[in-house]
Chain A
Amino acid sequence: MSVSKIYHSVKLEHDKCVGCTTCMKNCPMECIRVRNGKARILYDLCIDCGQCVKHCPYHAKVAQTDPITDIFRYEHRIALPAPSLYGQFRNLHSADNVISALLSLGFNHVFEVARAADIVSATVRKMIKTNPNKPLISSACPAVVNLIKIRFPELLPHLANVLSPMEVAARLAKEEYSKEHGVEIEKIGAFFITPCPAKMASIHEDSKTYVDGVIAIRDIYGLLTSQMKQEVPDEVKNMEHASWRGVNWASFGGEGSALGYSNILSVDGIHSVITVLEEIENGRLSDLEFFEGSSCLGGCLGGSLVFENTYVAKNNLRKLIERMRNREKEEGTAKVVEPRDDIEQYAPFEPREGIKLGGDISEAIEKMEKIKSLTKSFRGLDCGSCGSPTCRALAEDIVQGRATELDCVFKLKEKVEQLAREMVDLTNL
């Protein structure tokens, strides 16, 4: 397999890996192999979903993010908190408490990503009206976008051509800050506080990004709790805030429910997302207006870089949203957010190679024949002892030169038995 040029956030800490195959069994792309007692990732197929990070019992799979000290590389520092950050705190009165705490950690300004989510919602709502490729597919979850690029390239025209809330937040935050303080954009650093490793990978892939760094929620959580106070300075109170609908993006289904259409489908968990994308590919859901897939169970709150248990966080967020809705009702200040037509993706969505066996069609057919007959020769237990996730995957690995038949423990046993018989025959001569 060729060396992938695409940046990946998910890495292996070699010393911690015991070669147990847990990550391999949980990888939705079947792109992990255990060879010589260590896991390795076939990066051509990796979508940075973070399932391996979540499942590794030895914490050997890690997602690379930036340390908080990185923010001081910039004279002016802006924090871009993902809405899922708010779900990490119990009894959070208002997002302002988190914003204040971020400021006391050394940020000069905070721009809520949920506020950008409000703008993205308004823009997508408008897009649905004229969308020719039903359903419109959300481009918010980077792991799902990667999945479509690799496994469902025919669905790329369905993807909403809009920047992610993170990117919109970074751009607007820098533009606003630069104008207000008379500072050059280059001197401002924008840091996304992330629940998700795929976000890290997505900014490295995008040369035009306004995001300068990505900090994991679980790396900043402890520092934030030590800075949380009840009192909120006026400058924070007077900031422009996100609506509760934007904050709700952190929960599974939040993006879809903010759109105000009824014929939409929200699906969480990468395996379920795959099954629904299959249906869309089969032309079974062409009456659907919008499809929102979230790689993690529970949406972004279930990301592999969060601190709090997904379901506890969901409850925390629900309570915060209730408070926000009540305040909105009391004050009668439901904000109308206008769509923007200048937040298109910087580059079109391109398919990613990786699934193909390689060579021209005749060569590929030949390989496929070999894979089929090899697969038949295995027991079909998909035990994983060979270091490939299924018997079929082992067959493919053998054909692609990544493994040998004797990696299969049953084949090895047969071979040893045969050798033993030969030895007995020889001694009886």
Chain B
Amino acid sequence: MADYTNATFEEVREVGKGDFATAGQGSAAFKNTLKKLGVGSAVVRRVAIASYEAEINLAIHSDGGKLTLSVYPDKIRLVSEDIGPGIADLDLVMQEGYSTATEEVRMLGFGAGMGMPNMKRCSDEFDLKSAVGKGTTITMDFKLG
């Protein structure tokens, strides 16, 4: 994936472990930002779905992390970074229906095993890096124009 260091607009949202009450606020804020910037509605919706999935994943699976939205004139980059626990099997996690979510989380209507596949489906470029004991970084790019 090409490296972009000069973000022209950046918005960061911290998501704590188990933050279900506020999960979704970040993606809602991102959505409003993109609409104000005049980004086309089809792209906005794809970013909305991906950022919502990422936000929920951080709340369910991570020990805490953050979502960063960066807008460049030709693309949008969404990065989800967390501080652990990391993913052991990166192939398994991309399989539809695979989930390690607890019964409690499933009762809340999450944990259907569609998070990662949805994020990949919505983005134009998708990159997943993870190290057990360290953390996970998901980078998603969405082309503009």
Using CB atoms and an 8 Å cutoff, list the residues of chain A in contact with chain B: 151, 153-154, 278, 281-284, 351, 355-362, 364-366, 368-369, 372
Known: A278-B24, A284-B52. A364 touches B41 (CB 8 A): no
Q: How far is the CA of A153 from the CA of B27 in the complex (A)?
A: 17
Among residues of B, the one whose C-beta sits closest to the C-beta of A284 is B52
Question: In the complex the two chains form, is B37's CB within 8 Å of A278's CB?
Answer: no
Q: Which of B37, B41, B44, B118 contacts A361 (CB 8 A)?
A: B37
A interface: dominant SS: helix
Q: How far is the CA of A368 from the CA of B44 in the complex (A)?
A: 16
In whole Å, how far is B145's beta carbon from the nearest beta carbon of chain A?
Answer: 8
Q: Which of B8, B36, B45, B71 contacts A355 (CB 8 A)?
A: B36
Q: Which of A151, A284, A365 contacts B37 (CB 8 A)?
A: A365
Using CB atoms and an 8 Å cutoff, list the residues of chain B in contact with chain A: 8-9, 11, 24, 27-28, 31, 33, 35-39, 41-42, 44-45, 48-49, 52, 71, 73, 118, 144-145
Among residues of A, the one whose C-beta sits closest to the C-beta of B38 is A356
Contacts of A282 in B (CB 8 A): 24, 27, 48-49, 52
Q: How far is the CA of A218 from the CA of B118 in the complex (A)?
A: 50
The 6 A-B pairs at the shortest CB distance, nearest first, are namely: A154-B41, A356-B38, A282-B52, A153-B41, A154-B45, A364-B37
Contacts of B11 in A (CB 8 A): 372
Known: A284-B52, A356-B37, A369-B9. A361 touches B42 (CB 8 A): no
Question: In the complex the two chains form, is B8's CB within 8 Å of A281's CB?
Answer: no
Q: How far is the CA of A170 from the CA of B35 in the complex (A)?
A: 37
B interface: dominant SS: helix
Among residues of A, the one whose C-beta sits closest to the C-beta of B55 is A282
Contacts of A366 in B (CB 8 A): 8
Q: How far is the CA of A356 from the CA of B35 in the complex (A)?
A: 6
Q: How far is the CA of A368 from the CA of B11 in the complex (A)?
A: 10
Known: A281-B31, A281-B48. A154 touches B42 (CB 8 A): yes
Contacts of A151 in B (CB 8 A): 35
Question: In the complex the two chains form, is B35's CB within 8 Å of A365's CB?
Answer: no
Question: In the complex the two chains form, is A356's CB within 8 Å of B45's CB?
Answer: no
Contacts of B52 in A (CB 8 A): 282-284
Question: In the complex the two chains form, is A355's CB within 8 Å of B35's CB?
Answer: yes
In whole Å, how far is A147's beta carbon from the nearest beta carbon of chain B?
Answer: 13
In whole Å, how far is A395's beta carbon from the nearest beta carbon of chain B?
Answer: 12
Contacts of B33 in A (CB 8 A): 368
Question: In the complex the two chains form, is B38's CB within 8 Å of A357's CB?
Answer: yes
Question: In the complex the two chains form, is A361's CB within 8 Å of B24's CB?
Answer: no
Q: Which of A154, A278, A284, A358 contacts B38 (CB 8 A)?
A: A358
Question: In the complex the two chains form, is A351's CB within 8 Å of B41's CB?
Answer: yes
Contacts of B71 in A (CB 8 A): 361, 365, 368
Known: A154-B45, A278-B28, A282-B52. A368 touches B73 (CB 8 A): no
The residue among B9, B41, B48, B118 with the most chain A CB atoms within 10 A of its own CB is B9
Question: In the complex the two chains form, is B48's CB within 8 Å of A361's CB?
Answer: no
Contacts of B41 in A (CB 8 A): 153-154, 351
Q: Which of B9, B31, B45, B48 contacts A368 (CB 8 A)?
A: B9
Among residues of A, the one whose C-beta sits closest to the C-beta of B144 is A361
Question: In the complex the two chains form, is A361's CB within 8 Å of B36's CB?
Answer: no
In whole Å, how far is B5's beta carbon from the nearest beta carbon of chain A?
Answer: 16
Question: In the complex the two chains form, is A364's CB within 8 Å of B44's CB?
Answer: no
Q: How far is the CA of A283 from the CA of B45 in the complex (A)?
A: 9
Among residues of A, the one whose C-beta sits closest to the C-beta of B25 is A278
In whole Å, how far is A329's beta carbon from the nearest beta carbon of chain B?
Answer: 39
Question: In the complex the two chains form, is A364's CB within 8 Å of B38's CB?
Answer: yes
Among residues of B, the one whose C-beta sits closest to the C-beta of A368 is B9
Question: In the complex the two chains form, is A361's CB within 8 Å of B38's CB?
Answer: yes
A-B contact list, 18 entries, CB within 8 Å: A282-B27, A282-B52, A283-B48, A283-B49, A283-B118, A356-B35, A356-B36, A357-B36, A359-B38, A361-B73, A361-B144, A361-B145, A362-B8, A365-B9, A365-B37, A365-B71, A366-B8, A368-B36
Among residues of B, the one whose C-beta sits closest to the C-beta of A396 is B36
Q: How far is the CA of A362 from the CA of B11 in the complex (A)?
A: 16
Contacts of B145 in A (CB 8 A): 361
Question: In the complex the two chains form, is A361's CB within 8 Å of B39's CB?
Answer: yes
Contacts of A356 in B (CB 8 A): 35-38
Q: Given contacts A361-B145, A369-B8, could you give 4 more A-B pairs where the C-beta distance is less than 8 Å?
A: A284-B52, A359-B38, A362-B8, A368-B9
Among residues of B, the one whose C-beta sits closest to the C-beta of A359 is B38
In whole Å, how far is A149's beta carbon from the nearest beta carbon of chain B?
Answer: 11
Contacts of A284 in B (CB 8 A): 52
Contacts of A357 in B (CB 8 A): 36-38
Q: How far is the CA of A283 from the CA of B49 in the complex (A)?
A: 6
Contacts of A153 in B (CB 8 A): 41
